[in-house]
Amino acid sequence: MESAIVRMSDITKSFNHVTVLKKVNFELYPGEVHALLGENGAGKSTLMKILRGIYQPDSGEIRIQEKVVHLNTTSDALNNGVAMVFQEFSQVPTLTVAQNIFLTREFRSKLNLLDDHQCEVRAKEIFDDMGVDIDPKQLLSNLSTGYRQLTEIAKALSQNARILILDEPTASLTETETQALFNLIRRLKKNGISIIYISHRMEEIFKISDRITILRDGQKIVTEDAKNLNIQQVIEHIIGQKKQESKEIPVSRDEKDQQVLLEINHLECERGVHDVSLKLHCGEVLGIAGLMGNGQSELMQAIFGMNPIRAGEILIREKIVKITDPAMSMKAGIAMIPEDRRNKGLILMHTIRENIMMPMIKLNRLPRRKFFIDEKKGSQVVNHYVKRLNIRCDSIYKQVGLLSGGNQQKVVIAKWLSTNPDILLMDEPTVGVDIGAKQEIIDIMRALAKEGKGVIFITSELKEMLSVCNRIMIIQNGHITRELKNSEIQSEERLNQILQGA
Ligand SMILES: Nc1ncnc2c1ncn2[C@@H]1O[C@H](COP(=O)(O)OP(=O)(O)OP(=O)(O)O)[C@@H](O)[C@H]1O
Ligand SMILES: [Mg+2]
């Protein structure tokens, strides 16, 4: 038997009497990239948190370099060379990038003073190695989600990891950044670092991984060389049945026949939006495509009252509306699923039910009995979306903070869908959700459009954009530079070329 760098055997773990990992075996070999796949709630993060010393297994054994280890704390794991980039960030926005990377491990000067300069120099070296251009001196709060993700990776690398766990590292990266990350992974691999790679993006898994392990309901289904599997087989292992591809291709309807639902004229905003004009018609899904940080999220935030408008106007059904905060936007029939869902979308201490019902209650959309809201109706709506998006939970009264990362994302999505908005703004709604839910979200967008509503969609997965948008607007440095009908774009590659400015 080849000697493994990690050998986890018969790992079992329960939370409050619910077993989430059942006798899982997992091996990692030196210098391999091993993809760990499965639906939201399958147990991927839990298995990795056990390897990172955050959780302890109820039973089973862990060997590192074939020696039995007891990873009772995170320092035990670090001492054994295990580092992890988490699905949920644990960063401090008010500190600089360098300070975040070296948090609790700061360099000290001879007088034991904090040596920020040393941290910055070291951070710069790591970024140079990674081939990314981030100024270590700037505040973390200035960075977009994608760049924060890269900072997290730099942090793991600064810990001299031999075993690097990446829990959905590309979730908020663009194509180009993903490429940069893959180059980095290949470089690390050459240096003998072993990588465990968790992702819900099927295409990329085959580009980067040597082997694939699939979990379903806390059990290991298969471990296999990537070259012996294809996407279809992987999906079948993940969901446990054959997947139905939906084949509908969006067509641009004749705009003359369509009522204008939302019109934006010469919008100028505090952040990242310059002289933007656009129209969204009833029954349309409009894509806003651009490289990360070109103003697409800022534009959406402006429509939702989260990016102050300096000049220009917004009209809904031909009437000028003044939007200065999200409440006004919601009243005007707009809902937004934000990109940064964990921070902007949920109260982690509250239950699934409370979280989903929040906007419905605010908007007075739930029937009332005398002065009280109709609790039964509320539960019905919640149950409908829990089922539709397949939110993995034993009850709708479960605390949201205890759900897996992807299931939390689904709760935010459910929360806004349940308000039944006229205009839905979706910023990367499929990030972090499993293959089944991705399809469901696409189907929901189509259904809303069919009902005559309008959707504005941002995604870095160009395939998704092409599968659902009638029209696509290209945004660059906050300006709309081009508008394309879906039928005018032949392929994903072509759209990517357009984005790259080719
Ligand atoms: N601290 C906890 N307390 C209670 N239950 C938990 C806890 N952590 C995880 N779970 C449960 O364990 C199960 C597996 O969660 P885990 O986070 O490992 O899933 P995952 O495969 O990483 O999913 P995702 O793709 O959504 O990130 C879920 O049902 C989740 O609710
Ligand atoms: Mg997870």
DSSP 419-441: T--SEEEEESTTTT--HHHHHHH
Asked if residue 352 has its Cβ within 6 Å of ligand 1, the reply is no
User: What's the DSSP call for residue 110?
Assistant: T
Q: Is the CB of 407 under 6 A from ligand 1?
A: yes
Give the position, in ligand 1's atom list, of the atom nearest the Cα of 406.
26
Please report, in tens digits, the pLDDT of each residue of the chain (502 residues total). Answer: 679 999 999 999 999 899 999 999 999 999 999 999 999 999 999 999 999 999 999 999 999 999 999 999 999 999 999 999 887 667 888 999 999 998 877 666 666 666 788 889 999 998 888 778 899 999 998 887 778 878 888 888 888 889 999 998 777 676 777 787 888 889 889 888 999 999 998 888 999 999 999 999 999 999 999 999 999 999 999 988 766 655 566 766 666 668 999 999 999 999 999 999 999 999 999 999 988 778 999 999 999 999 999 999 999 999 999 999 999 999 999 999 988 766 667 888 999 999 999 988 888 877 777 777 788 888 999 999 999 888 989 899 999 999 988 898 889 989 988 888 999 999 999 888 898 888 888 988 898 899 899 999 999 888 899 999 999 999 999 999 999 988 888 888 888 888 887 5
Ligand 1 atom with the shortest distance to the CA of 215: 21
Residue 87 Cβ inside 6 Å of ligand 1? The answer reads: yes
Q: Check if 15 has its Cβ closer than 6 Å to any atom of ligand 1.
A: yes
Q: How far apart are CA 389 and CA 64, in angstroms?
A: 38
Query: Which atom of ligand 1 sits closest to the CA of residue 409?
Result: 26
Mutate to test the pocket of ligand 1, among 16, 17, 45, 201 (most ligand atoms within 8 A of CB): 45
Ligand located closest to 216 CA: 1
Q: Compute CA distances 153 → 53, 81, 147, 156, 453, whole Å.
A: 18, 15, 10, 5, 40
Q: For residue 168, how far is its CA from the centre of ligand 2 (angstroms)? A: 8
Q: Is 120 helix (H, G, I), strand (E, B) or coil?
A: helix
Task: State how far the Cα of 426 lies from the Cα of 56, in Å rounded to an integer.
Answer: 38
Question: How far does residue 41's CA lie from ligand 1's centre (Å)?
Answer: 5
End-to-end CA distance of the chain: 50
| Coil/strand/helix, residue 12 | strand
Spatial separation of the C-alpha atoms in residues 387 and 409, rounded to whole Å = 14
Mutate to test the pocket of ligand 1, among 402, 430, 433 (most ligand atoms within 8 A of CB): 402
Q: What is the pTM of this model?
A: 0.84
Domains of the chain: 6-239 (3.40.50.300), 258-333+427-502 (3.40.50.300), 342-420 (no CATH)
Cα distance between residue 155 and residue 133, in whole Å: 15
Closest-approaching ligand to the CA atom of 36: 1
Helices within 363-450 (DSSP H only): 375-388, 405-417, 435-450
Indicate whether residue 44 lines ligand 1 (CB < 6 A).
Answer: yes
